[in-house]
Amino acid sequence: MNKPIRRLAFFAMVLFGVLLVNVTYIQVFQGEALREHPFNGRQYANQLTQPRGPILVGSEEVAFSEPLGEKEDDKYQRKYPAGGLYAHLIGTFPVRGEGIETRQNALLEGSDERLVVRNFIDSITGKEHQGASVELTLSPKAQEAAQAGFEELGKNGAAVALDPETGAVLAAYSNPTFDPNEVSSVTDAEAANKAWTDYEGDENKPLLNRALNERYPPGSTFKLVTAAAALEDGATPESTMDAPETLNLGAPLPNAWGGPCNGGQPDTLAHSIEQSCNTSFANWAIELGADKMTEQAEKFGFNGEDMAIPLPVTGSLYPREEDRNVLGRSGIGQANVESTPLQMAMVAAGIANDGDVMKPYLVDSVKDSDLSEIEGHTPETLSTAVSAKTAEDLTQMMILVTEGAEASGPGGAIPGMQVAGKTGTAETDSGPTHNWFVSFAPADDPQVAVAVVVEHGGGSGGTLAAPIAKRIMEAVIDQ
């Protein structure tokens, strides 16, 4: 064999070796992922000929499969009777973006290993293949109240409601929303793809789950965290702090009404919460310092690891600030503080739950087609943010926000019931203010904790967000 032929043979052997290694890698390490990939055409075609399990809210099926014909190999169409009400949470099939349809796909389509035995028995007995059903923790009335509140207001934003004792997500609504039926057509895939593309290009971002994945400056709702740090550090609701008309933090920091908070005298912690005093809380943050402020924020869940409920949740941020001016502004939820609505609902829920922050969860149970439970949920404590005594002090101060003589959030009050609340109006670099309200009720026996943010509302949290929060709280308590 001459030299050129030897080189050619060696080169061919190298190529063959590379090909062999690549094929082995794909078969051994990527085979399952490729089989399960949502863009696997064969996988998708198989899924269309089998009914997926339903997704339920209460006893209502909010996603189910409907046959398009009577033949055995006819396809199934996924239906979403509630339109956009649960769209960001349940997602779509074909799976696009995040949602229960994506996160629980193996269970819904029946390929999860926990369904293997039942599928085998069904194949022997000739029964139709059926995926598992997924029951969510949501309250239909609370979700509807959130949607109605935003649609009547005509603003973008989000609302989250939690069961403070368990962490169950009772509502998580994001406005604007989208209709999953428009992007799920089996018979007209081209129209479905166009509808999805149109949603993606919409400047109002209807596909964005603002409740879980959008961060906003929390504004004065963050004063609850600062107050918690002060109380844990030994302060009481009657402890005072200088509360002038403006505070020099590089640039003047005024109060919302342009005057001092207590007639020019040092203001109590309780009154500063009631009136939402900027200057006193900026002073509290500076006095507590970066370490204590950061530690308290992290106990409520800021700066935490990525979380899934099982939908992915964007982390909220409280950067450790050494600069006095930035630290002071961080104490009122400005500067570099960013929070999702879910995170602020967790703050309210932690206070409502005697200081324990529960890990939020959206799936209550997964059941086989014979209704046997495959997967349940046991509530988990995420952290102990404050002591029970601090939680009680914060609760009493928050009641002043809805009932006090100088209450900043009376719009969140419910007649005949004490509501603990906190307003927030956050300055932004991108337009009018964001407007917040966080709350829980009844204050002496909390059943629901809520956070509402009205995106670029341009008003106050007490007038724009509090009425929506009130509506959600009433929906949970009255059901």
Both tokens assigned to 461: 């949290």
Indicate if 220 belongs to the active site: yes
Single out the catalytic residue among 65, 133, 220, 408: 220
The residues annotated with a catalytic role in the active site are 220
